[in-house]
Structure 1
Amino acid sequence: MDPPGKAWNKKVQVERAVAPDGGYAWFILVSCFFVFGLTFGVVKSFGVFYVEIQQYFGTTAAGTSWITSIAVATIHVAAPLASALSSRYSHRSVVIAGGLICSVGAILGSFGNNLVQLYLTVGFLNGFGYALTWTPTVTMLGMYFDKRRPMANALASAGECILTFILTPMFQLLINSFSWRGALLIMGALQLNLCVCGLLLRPLKSTRDVTCVNEGKAEEDGLSRKMLLKDILDEVKSSIQEEKELYTEESNQETSKKCLDDTEVEPSLAEDSTSLRERDLRTKVQQYVDYTLITNPRFMIYSMFGVFAALGFFAPSLFLVPYARSKGIEEYQAAALMSISAVLDLIGRVVFGWVANLRLVETVQQLTATVVFLGAVLLLCPLASTFYELVAFSAAHGLVYGATVAIHITVLPEVVGVQRLGSALGFFMLIRSSGGLLGPPIAGFFIDKMDSYGTGFLMSGVALLTSALFLLVLNLMMQKDQRKKNIFSDMETEELGQSFTV
Structure 2
Amino acid sequence: MNSLVKPQRVKVAVATPTAPDGGYAWFVLLSCFLVFGLTFGVIKAFGVFYVEIHQYFETTATGTSWITSIAVATIHIVAPVASALSARYSHRSVVILGGLICSIGVIIGSFAHNLIGLYFTVGFLNGFGYALTWTPTVTMLGLYFEKRRPVANALASAGECILTFLLTPLIQLLIDSFSWRGALLIVGGLQLNLCVCGMLLRPLKGTRHKSHASDVKAEEEGMNLESLTKDDSEQSKHCLEEVGQRLPEGSDQRKVKKGYSLEELDEKPTTIDSKRRAKRTELRTKILQYVDYTLITNARFMVYSMFGVFAALGFFAPALFLVPYARSKGIEEYQAAALMSISAVFDLFGRVFFGWVANLRLVKTVQQLTATVILLGTVLLLCPLASSFPELAAFSAAYGLVFGATVAIHITVLAEVVGVQRLGSALGFFMLIRSSGGLLGPPIAGFFIDKMSDYGTGFLMAGVALIISALFLLLLHQMNRREQRSTQKTHDMQLDNMGQTFSAEAKELDVTLTMEK
Normalised to the residue count of structure 2, the TM-score between the two structures is 0.81
CA distance in 2, matches of 1:343, 1:269: 67
Asked if 2 retains the 8 angstrom alpha-carbon contact of 1:356 and 1:407, the reply is yes
Q: Which residue in 2 is equivalent to 1:331?
A: 333
Q: Which residue in 2 is equivalent to 1:383?
A: 385
Does 1:428 pair with 2:430? yes
Give percent identity, aligned residues only.
78
State how 1:162-173 maps to structure 2 within 5 Å.
162-173=162-173
Asked if 2 retains the 8 angstrom alpha-carbon contact of 1:18 and 1:207, the reply is no
Relative to structure 1, is the Cα distance of residues 413 and 495 closer, same or farther in structure 2, using a 3 angstrom cutoff? farther
Asked if 1 retains the 8 angstrom alpha-carbon contact of 2:324 and 2:455, the reply is yes
CA distance in 1, matches of 2:120, 2:498: 61
Deviations for 1:351-376, whole angstroms, at most 9, x for unmatched residues? Answer: 00000000000000000000000000
State how 1:170-249 maps to structure 2 within 5 Å.
170-207=170-207
Query: 1:15: how far off?
Result: 3.2
The one-letter code sitting in structure 2 at the alignment partner of 1:399 is: L
The one-letter code sitting in structure 2 at the alignment partner of 1:304 is: M
Does 1:469 pair with 2:471? yes
Asked if 1 retains the 8 angstrom alpha-carbon contact of 2:14 and 2:206, the reply is no
Q: Which residue in 1 is equivalent to 2:110?
A: 110
Deviations for 1:303-352, whole angstroms, at most 9, x for unmatched residues? Answer: 00000000000000000000000000000000000000000000000000
Q: Which residue in 1 is equivalent to 2:127?
A: 127
Query: 1:271: how far off?
Result: 5.3
The one-letter code sitting in structure 2 at the alignment partner of 1:168 is: T
Query: 1:492: how far off?
Result: 5.4
State how 1:226-375 maps to structure 2 within 5 Å.
272-375=274-377
Asked if 2 retains the 8 angstrom alpha-carbon contact of 1:16 and 1:208, the reply is no
Q: Which residue in 2 is equivalent to 1:460?
A: 462
The one-letter code sitting in structure 2 at the alignment partner of 1:167 is: L
CA distance in 2, matches of 1:309, 1:101: 28
CA distance in 2, matches of 1:492, 1:87: 39
Asked if 2 retains the 8 angstrom alpha-carbon contact of 1:69 and 1:439, the reply is yes
Report which of the two structures shows the higher radius of gyration computed on alpha carbons.
2
Deviations for 1:78-106, whole angstroms, at most 9, x for unmatched residues? Answer: 00000000000000000000000011011
Alignment RMSD: 2.3
Query: 1:470: how far off?
Result: 0.2
Asked if 1 retains the 8 angstrom alpha-carbon contact of 2:102 and 2:128, the reply is yes
Deviations for 1:24-76, whole angstroms, at most 9, x for unmatched residues? Answer: 11111000000000000000000000010011001000000000000000000
Does 1:89 pair with 2:89? yes
The DSSP-based 3-state class of the residue aligned with 1:206 is coil
The DSSP-based 3-state class of the residue aligned with 1:82 is helix
CA distance in 1, matches of 2:100, 2:494: 52
Deviations for 1:269-312, whole angstroms, at most 9, x for unmatched residues? Answer: 99522222222111111110010100000000000000000000
CA distance in 2, matches of 1:294, 1:270: 31
Q: Which residue in 1 is equivalent to 2:65?
A: 65
CA distance in 2, matches of 1:55, 1:135: 34
The one-letter code sitting in structure 1 at the alignment partner of 2:469 is: S
Deviations for 1:107-139, whole angstroms, at most 9, x for unmatched residues? Answer: 000000000000000000000000000000000
Q: Which residue in 1 is equivalent to 2:146?
A: 146
The DSSP-based 3-state class of the residue aligned with 1:78 is helix
Relative to structure 1, is the Cα distance of residues 419 and 49 closer, same or farther in structure 2, using a 3 angstrom cutoff? same
Relative to structure 1, is the Cα distance of residues 179 and 358 closer, same or farther in structure 2, using a 3 angstrom cutoff? same
Query: 1:480: how far off?
Result: 1.4
Query: 1:209: how far off?
Result: 9.8
CA distance in 2, matches of 1:201, 1:51: 37
The DSSP-based 3-state class of the residue aligned with 1:203 is coil
Q: Return the match for 1:483 from 482, 485, 495.
A: 485
CA distance in 2, matches of 1:311, 1:143: 29
The one-letter code sitting in structure 2 at the alignment partner of 1:52 is: E
Relative to structure 1, is the Cα distance of residues 106 and 89 closer, same or farther in structure 2, using a 3 angstrom cutoff? same
Deviations for 1:196-235, whole angstroms, at most 9, x for unmatched residues? Answer: 000010111124799xxxxxxxxxxxxxxxxxxxxxxxxx
Asked if 2 retains the 8 angstrom alpha-carbon contact of 1:21 and 1:147, the reply is yes
Query: 1:394: how far off?
Result: 0.2
Q: Which residue in 1 is equivalent to 2:249?
A: none
Query: 1:420: how far off?
Result: 0.4
Query: 1:495: how far off?
Result: 6.9
CA distance in 1, matches of 2:177, 2:428: 39
The DSSP-based 3-state class of the residue aligned with 1:156 is helix
Q: Which residue in 2 is equivalent to 1:18?
A: 18
**Unmatched 5+ residue regions in structure 1?**
1-12, 211-267
CA distance in 2, matches of 1:99, 1:70: 18
Asked if 2 retains the 8 angstrom alpha-carbon contact of 1:73 and 1:437, the reply is yes
Deviations for 1:158-194, whole angstroms, at most 9, x for unmatched residues? Answer: 0000000000000000001000000010001100000
The one-letter code sitting in structure 1 at the alignment partner of 2:112 is: G
CA distance in 2, matches of 1:416, 1:490: 25
The one-letter code sitting in structure 2 at the alignment partner of 1:327 is: K
CA distance in 2, matches of 1:209, 1:300: 38
The DSSP-based 3-state class of the residue aligned with 1:408 is helix
| Equivalent residues, number | 435
CA distance in 2, matches of 1:155, 1:490: 40
CA distance in 2, matches of 1:79, 1:496: 47
CA distance in 1, matches of 2:378, 2:83: 35
The one-letter code sitting in structure 2 at the alignment partner of 1:350 is: V
Task: Please identify, of 474-483 and 71-80, the stretch whose mean Cα deviation from structure 2 is larger.
Answer: 474-483
CA distance in 2, matches of 1:483, 1:203: 38
The DSSP-based 3-state class of the residue aligned with 2:20 is coil
Query: 1:493: how far off?
Result: 6.7
CA distance in 2, matches of 1:138, 1:27: 13
CA distance in 2, matches of 1:188, 1:26: 27
CA distance in 1, matches of 2:43, 2:397: 19
Asked if 1 retains the 8 angstrom alpha-carbon contact of 2:80 and 2:291, the reply is yes
The DSSP-based 3-state class of the residue aligned with 1:195 is helix
CA distance in 2, matches of 1:456, 1:396: 17
Q: Which residue in 1 is equivalent to 2:232?
A: none
Query: 1:403: how far off?
Result: 0.3
CA distance in 1, matches of 2:344, 2:61: 24
Normalised to the residue count of structure 1, the TM-score between the two structures is 0.84
CA distance in 1, matches of 2:68, 2:82: 20
